[in-house]
Amino acid sequence: MLIIAIDTGGTFTDLTAYDAATGQVAYTKSLTTYDNLANGVFDCAQKAGLELGKGDVFKHGTTLVVNSLIQRDGARAALIATKGFRDILEMARGNRPDPFDLYYRRHPALIGRDMRFELVERTSGRGEALAEPQFSEVASLAAELSRLGVEAVAVSFLNSYLSPRHEEMVAAWLKDLLPGVFVTRSTELSREWYEFERTATVAANAYVGPQMSGYVHHLDQRLADGGFRGKFFMMGSNGGVLGVKQALAAPIALVESGPVGGSIGAAAYAQALGIDNAIAFDMGGTTAKCALVQAGRFDVKSVYYVGGYARGFPIRGAVIDIVEVGAGGGSIAWLDEQKRLYVGPRSAGSTPGPVSYGRGGTEPTVTDANLVLGRMDPEGFLGGGMSLDLLGARRAIQEGLALPLGYTGPDGAQRMADGMIAIASVAMAGAIKRITVEKGLDPRDYCLFAFGGGGPLHAFQIARELYIPLVIVPPEPGNFSALGMLLANMKVDQSTTFVRALDQAALEEAAKLLEGMREKMTATLRADVPHGALSFEYFAEIRYRGQVHSVRTPLDAAASPQDIRRSFERIYRARYGHADSKNPVEIVSLSVSGYGTMDRPALEDLAPNRSASGSPTVRTRQVYFAEAGETVATSVFKREELPTGFSAQGPALIEEYGSTTVIGPRDRFEIGRLGEIRISLDIKN
């Protein structure tokens, strides 16, 4: 059994491969090749010396979809809408999230007005057909689309969420009439109401469809040429992989495939370590992201904004619920004219990068601050592959920030650097509060899983801010996204609008609907996971009658309306501090998540310290800690030398390729049985 996972990210393409026969794990990295993304993928495979012919499973995550949507280099696409409604895509919802900007505008619609067409057909607001689509009209429309050289067509009809029949008819005709053109319809992606959101989703699917097909076929061909005979999966935004056939029909389901891997990895480790409540915290160069992991599962949300809420457009579909803030290693600290201090959201990125990279960056970043505080080794960056300019970083912080703000004296730059990190930590802690406190959950009940290049550097401080008692740094924090992908199961999600008062009759009807959904999903899962165990979870979105927002409530086949109402009210009260036992309650939609269990490596085989034996070497460095108010002598370890069971009191640094873990002066760490670093915080509440 050889499993290969490759994650194409913004800067690097990462590979993780696991050979069950030898227990060997390979990690390789190469630069992402924007002209042909597949080259980066095969560079990685070559570097790892993989024999593709022995490969059983190939899992792939890519930023192709989201990049294409943001850079606007997708297909020449057309939209076919119900007569009278072609402008829905461009009118959006009439809102302006930036209230005082006289020039506020949204990113332009993906499909311009001259490529949006209308067709006579109509379904009423209660699901009855009022006008049937006519083949002759579709045929002449198809001729026009063909003349315009259209590569993809999106079909989105009003009220189709109630009855998708018209969309199905028209899409089928178009597929016959326009061979080679990518045809997609809104109801194959979402069965929920809100016509703008559904239309924006199918427009985006059409926009990226042809490019994705081209890419997948190209990759598939090259894999076959390399002798690969196994199964090919793509990483979905919902936190599981999906088969190639599904990915080709609904490429939009891959929109957020990048950050998902880390959350899957965190979930797998949390489960293996018997931790029910975890927060996956991933800090990279430009942003920090966090997601909640409970009992090995993560929340999905049903609307995701491509390009952000303020100016972007929505995508309907299950996307893992990740909260992101503009705080990363490259985040720039700056002062405005009133000398107000900010950290981020602007980032120095990888070019020019932080001042200390010596590539022309002049504005101090979070990485520069870490260096000035002694948390990073100027000679040890990327395993010693790159040396960092400590003096330059100190000078930039001193001159750009510390002196203008009055932090003078010999330790001014260090106090300033510590302040930069404190401000970034507040922002990151704020993101974690949004996925916990705002849902009525107490972060003290959670364990913080820190990864990404910056996660292990900052986790102890963020944990302290939130009174989280335990931080875990998993193996390969710098490669954790690809590692997580290696561990991913197959997952499919489906939801449907179902507005009913919560009563026995509604539950019986819901049970039938859910059973139908489960049957379809079983077929989808079995096609790609022939042997692994399948499991299903059922949810209802429930609200008090009159509200618009609903609460995702688990459904249990045996539960009575009263049981379901009680669990709804329990979640509602935890989240908002109050609940009403008298107000009528209604269901808004139903959803099913289906999982197909896939083979994966034993986590013991992934431990970074498998060859550690004897006593590790310890160096000492002066590191500034705010708790001490000065620099203190700090032990520095190499991670691969620390055997399981090793423990020590902070302050300490644990270095490895791609990341450094910081343990504060009052905290203690231990190496766990999977090679994970466990930092126990001395929390005084």
Q: Does 334 bind other proteins (CB under 8 A)?
A: no
List the one residue from 51, 73, 144, 438 that touches other proteins (CB under 8 A).
438
> Exposed, middle or buried, 214 (CB in 10 Å: 0-12/13-18/19+)?
exposed
CB atoms within 10 A of CB 10: 15
Q: Which helix (H) or strand (E) holds 315?
A: strand 313-320
Binding mask 87-126 for other proteins (x = CB under 8 A): xx-xx-xxxxxxxxxxxxx------xxx---------xxx
List the one residue from 161, 182, 269, 637 that touches other proteins (CB under 8 A).
161
| Alpha-carbon separation of residue 345 from 281, 305, 456 (angstroms) | 18, 18, 20
Measured CA to CA, the distance from residue 590 to residue 514 in angstroms comes to: 8
Decide whether 87 or 515 has the Cβ nearer to other proteins: 87
The distance of closest approach from Cβ of residue 433 to other proteins in the complex, given in angstroms and rounded to an integer, is 8
The distance of closest approach from Cβ of residue 154 to other proteins in the complex, given in angstroms and rounded to an integer, is 17
Measured CA to CA, the distance from residue 509 to residue 496 in angstroms comes to: 13
The distance of closest approach from Cβ of residue 434 to other proteins in the complex, given in angstroms and rounded to an integer, is 8
What are residue 353's phi and psi, to 5 degrees? Answer: 85, 180
List the one residue from 49, 577, 614, 645 that touches other proteins (CB under 8 A).
577
Q: Are 448 and 468 in contact (CB under 8 A)?
A: yes
Q: Does 337 bind other proteins (CB under 8 A)?
A: yes
Going by C-alpha positions, the residue among 207, 192, 198 that lies closest to residue 89 is 198
Which residue type, as a one-letter code, is found at position 621?
Answer: R
List the one residue from 33, 56, 85, 509 that touches other proteins (CB under 8 A).
85
The distance of closest approach from Cβ of residue 203 to other proteins in the complex, given in angstroms and rounded to an integer, is 16
The distance of closest approach from Cβ of residue 668 to other proteins in the complex, given in angstroms and rounded to an integer, is 25
Q: Does 684 bind other proteins (CB under 8 A)?
A: no
Decide whether 499 or 602 has the Cβ nearer to other proteins: 499
Q: Does 308 bind other proteins (CB under 8 A)?
A: no
Structure tokens at 205: 């699917």
From first CA to last CA, the distance across the chain in angstroms is: 49
Going by C-alpha positions, the residue among 374, 381, 420 that lies closest to residue 398 is 420
Q: Does 576 bind other proteins (CB under 8 A)?
A: yes
DSSP-assigned letters across all residues of 275-287 = -SEEEEEEE-SS-
The distance of closest approach from Cβ of residue 551 to other proteins in the complex, given in angstroms and rounded to an integer, is 9
Residue range at the interface with other proteins (CB under 8 A); choices 164-172, 245-253, 424-432, 480-488: 424-432
Residue range at the interface with other proteins (CB under 8 A); choices 82-90, 235-243, 469-477, 643-651: 82-90
Going by C-alpha positions, the residue among 407, 177, 362 that lies closest to residue 169 is 177
Q: Are 653 and 635 in contact (CB under 8 A)?
A: yes
Ranges within 180-219 binding other proteins (CB under 8 A): 193-196
Q: Does 382 bind other proteins (CB under 8 A)?
A: no
Phi-psi region of 227 (alpha: psi -120 to 50; beta: other; left: phi over 0): left
Q: Residue 359: helix, strand or coil by DSSP?
A: coil
List the one residue from 31, 51, 73, 84 that touches other proteins (CB under 8 A).
84
The distance of closest approach from Cβ of residue 367 to other proteins in the complex, given in angstroms and rounded to an integer, is 18
Measured CA to CA, the distance from residue 251 to residue 189 in angstroms comes to: 10
Q: Which helix (H) or strand (E) holds 372?
A: helix 366-372
Residue range at the interface with other proteins (CB under 8 A); choices 179-187, 425-433, 652-660, 670-678: 425-433
Q: Does 71 bind other proteins (CB under 8 A)?
A: no
Decide whether 190 or 246 has the Cβ nearer to other proteins: 190
Q: Does 72 bind other proteins (CB under 8 A)?
A: no
CB atoms within 10 A of CB 236: 28
Measured CA to CA, the distance from residue 309 to residue 330 in angstroms comes to: 23
List the one residue from 159, 356, 609, 635 that touches other proteins (CB under 8 A).
159
Ranges within 478-507 binding other proteins (CB under 8 A): 499
Residue found by looking up tokens 């590191």 in the block? 623
Q: Does 341 bind other proteins (CB under 8 A)?
A: yes
Decide whether 53 or 308 has the Cβ nearer to other proteins: 308
Measured CA to CA, the distance from residue 447 to residue 644 in angstroms comes to: 20
The distance of closest approach from Cβ of residue 567 to other proteins in the complex, given in angstroms and rounded to an integer, is 17
Decide whether 161 or 637 has the Cβ nearer to other proteins: 161
Q: DSSP label at 532? A: S
List the one residue from 29, 59, 60, 86 that touches other proteins (CB under 8 A).
86
Measured CA to CA, the distance from residue 82 to residue 423 in angstroms comes to: 50
Q: Which residues would be at the binding site for other proteins (CB under 8 A)?
A: 83-88, 90-91, 93-105, 112-114, 124-126, 158-159, 161, 193-196, 337-342, 405-406, 416, 419, 422-423, 426-427, 430, 433-434, 438, 499, 544, 546-549, 575-578, 580, 583
